[in-house]
Amino acid sequence: MKERSRRRFFTYLVRSRRLGRSLGVDLVPFKTCPYDCIYCELGRTTHKSATPEDYTPPKDILREIRESLEEISPPDHITLAGAGEPALHSRIGEVISGIKEMTDIPVALLTSGSLFWMKDVRASVQDADLIIPSLDAGDDPTFQCINRPHKDISFEKMVRGLSALRESYTGTLWLEVFLVEGVNAEEENILKIRTRAERLSPDRIQLNTLDRTAAESFVRAVPEDKMKRIASLLGPRCEVIGG
Ligand code: SF4
């Protein structure tokens, strides 16, 4: 998950290749996340959590979204993302339904995808128009290496959660795969990711790689020509969005 620029307290305006002009919304405190991805542009995770909590009251977040929308021309999306995992806000469902009552602008959710094994979390995001979870690994050793998840989240648990989301969610689902040279970008890694992705049947698969600083200095971008070869391995719904 990444994308940001000019900001108020919870909201910021950002442009990205895939979502156009977007009003980003932060729901949780900085680097509150179930993952500590080696490639995270925000640095190492300072509050690793797998337990949703009642952070900022939705009414305060919704008030700022309303004020921001009054100040700017309508964005292409309102995107729940930011400096941590939005689904760790236990009242994310109220935020989404409040936005839907306020405007017809589509709501996108950028998420690690690591919490959907919890029924309440799945239920709370059903009204989002677009969900973009990450899937950076096809097996547990790679998952541990690249995402460094909270101890309560195994690879199989995370993938079971994504499958359960796919079964219940009727909106648009794009998978984001972040590739790191020497970690998850060899054919063996990609074929395992493909197997998992096929079961989820996403509407798109988007490949990303490093184009800025990362949490760990050893993280290297995958070269452009290799990104294209990997995209062809993942099939016609796959596109390169970064690198
Ligand atoms: S999921 Fe990974 S990239 Fe996204 S905020 Fe958490 S640690 Fe950073």
Using CA positions, which residue lies closest to atom 8 of ligand 1? 40
Q: Which atom of ligand 1 is nearest to the CA of 36?
A: 7
Report residue 2's pLDDT band, with 50, 70 and 90 as the boundaries: very low
Among 33, 44, 79, 85, which is best to mutate for testing ligand 1, by the most ligand atoms less than 8 A from CB? 33
In this structure, what are the phi and psi dihedrals at residue 148, rounded to the nearest 5 degrees?
A: 40, 65
pLDDT bracket for residue 3 (50, 70, 90): very low
Residue 122 tokens read as 């799945």
pLDDT tens profile 148-206:
999 999 999 999 999 999 999 999 999 999 999 999 999 999 999 999 999 999 999 99
Ligand 1 centroid distance, CA of 9 (Å): 20
Q: CA–CA distance from 107 to each of 38, 79, 158 (Å)? A: 28, 6, 23
Tell me the CA–centroid distance for residue 70 and ligand 1, in Å. 30
Which residue in 121, 131, 136 sits closest to 19, CA to CA?
131
HEC profile for 31-46? CEECCCCCCCCCCCCC
Q: What pLDDT was estimated at residue 242?
A: 78
Write out pLDDT tens, residues 107-125. 999 999 999 999 999 999 9
User: Is the minimum distance from the CB of 35 to ligand 1 under 6 angstroms?
Assistant: yes
Token digits of residue 163: 């499958």
Residue 134: pLDDT above 90? yes
Question: 7: pLDDT confidence band, cut at 50, 70 and 90?
Answer: low
3-state secondary structure of 238: strand
What are the backbone angles phi and psi of residue 59, rounded to the nearest 5°? -60, -35
C-alpha 168/C-alpha 170 separation (Å) is 7
DSSP string for 146-188: HH---TT--HHHHHHHHHHHHHH--SEEEEEEEE-TTTT-SHH
Percentage of the residues of the chain whose pLDDT score is greater than 70: 97
Q: Which domains does the chain have, with CATH numbers?
A: 11-240 (3.20.20.70)
pLDDT single digits (tens) 139-160: 999 999 999 999 999 999 999 9
Q: How high is the pLDDT of residue 78?
A: 98
97 has pLDDT over 90: yes
CA of 52 to the centre of ligand 1 (A): 16
How many whole angstroms from 111 Cα to the centroid of ligand 1?
A: 8
